[in-house]
Structure 1
C-alpha cells in the first residue's frame, strides 16, 4: 500500500492532475455518493472525504461539493477543509460560500452532520497547515504553485 500511496501523492501533485482532476473527480464522487445513498466516496479510499453542502455565496442555493478533509480528532467533531483547488490559481467556489454562509452540512461516513465553518488565520492557521502537510504532503506543492494563501477552514459540529 505504501507504494500505491507514494504513486498517488506524486501524480496528485502534478500540473496535469490539477488540470484534469477538477473536471472528473468531483463528478464521479457526487455520482457514487448519490448511488450509494451517502455511504461511499471513491476519493475517500486515499484520503478522508466529506460532501459539503453549503449555501451559494451569490445564488443562495444549496451547493454540494465532495472534498478531501483532515479529521482533527477521533470524536468526529472537527474537520479541516483545505481550499487547495488542486493547486490552481483561484480559490475554489466552496470557500466563498463558507465565508458568506458559515453554517453548512457535511456527509461523513454516511451521516449528515450540521457544522459551522471558520476560516483559520494567523498562528492557528500555521499550526493547522503544519498538520495538513504532515497528513498529505502534496499540499506543499499546490501552495508553491500559487501566489494566494490556500484557505483552511475548521468545521465544528453544531
Structure 2
C-alpha cells in the first residue's frame, strides 16, 4: 500500500497523529496477536511485536514497534511517540536483554543491545529513512536520548 504508507509517513510528524496512535496501540497489539504478527501497524509500515519481561512484574509484555532490518537483526527505537519518558518496553529490555519478536508470523528469540557511537549514527539514519517523524519525536522529547536497540536473533 504505497499511498497509505506515504500518507502515514507525512502525518507521523503531527502531534495529533502521535496522540491518536498511542490510543490505538492496544488495538494494534490485539490485531498483531490475532494475526500471529502478520499484521501490525495495519500493515502500513514494517512492524513487529516485541515481548519483553516486565522489570517489576516479571510478566511478559508485548508491544508493536516499527523496525528496520540490519542483516539478520531488527533495529527499533524507544521513541515513545516523542513523550519525555522512556517507553516501558525499552526499560524492560535494559533490565533483561532477552526478548522475543514476532515478525510476519515468525516468533524469534532475540537479545536486545542498546547501540552507541558510529553504530548508533548509522542505525539512526536507517530508522529516520523509514519513519522521518523520528526526527520530530527527538525534538518533542526535549532532547531526551531516544535509545536505539539492535535485536539480534539468539537461535
8 Å contact from structure 1 (residues 44, 68) kept in 2: no
**What whole-Å deviation, never above 9, does each CA across 1:79-129 have from its counterpart, x for those lacking one?**
001111111111111000000000111111111100000001122111111
**SS of residue in 2 equivalent to 1:18:** helix
- Unmatched 5+ stretches in structure 2: none
8 Å contact from structure 2 (residues 51, 99) kept in 1: yes
Aligned to 2:43, which of 28, 33, 45?
45
Q: Which has the larger displacement, 11-20 or 50-59?
A: 11-20
**Relative to 1, partners in 2 of residues 1:148 and 1:105: Cα closer, same or farther, differing over 3 Å?**
same
Aligned to 2:133, which of 138, 148, 153?
138
Aligned to 2:93, which of 90, 98, 107?
98
**Relative to 1, partners in 2 of residues 1:3 and 1:110: Cα closer, same or farther, differing over 3 Å?**
closer
Aligned residue in 2 for 1:150: 146
Detail structure 1 runs of 4+ shifted over 6 Å in the superposition: none
- Is 1:122 the counterpart of 2:117? The answer is yes
**Relative to 1, partners in 2 of residues 1:9 and 1:56: Cα closer, same or farther, differing over 3 Å?**
same
- Unmatched 5+ stretches in structure 1: none
Aligned residue in 2 for 1:29: 28
Q: CA–CA distance in 1 between the matches of 2:69 and 2:97? A: 18
Q: CA–CA distance in 1 between the matches of 2:11 and 2:144? A: 22
8 Å contact from structure 2 (residues 53, 99) kept in 1: yes
Aligned residue in 1 for 2:57: 59
Give the TM-score, by structure 1 length.
0.89
**SS of residue in 2 equivalent to 1:53:** strand
For the aligned residue pairs, the C-alpha RMSD in angstroms reads 1.6
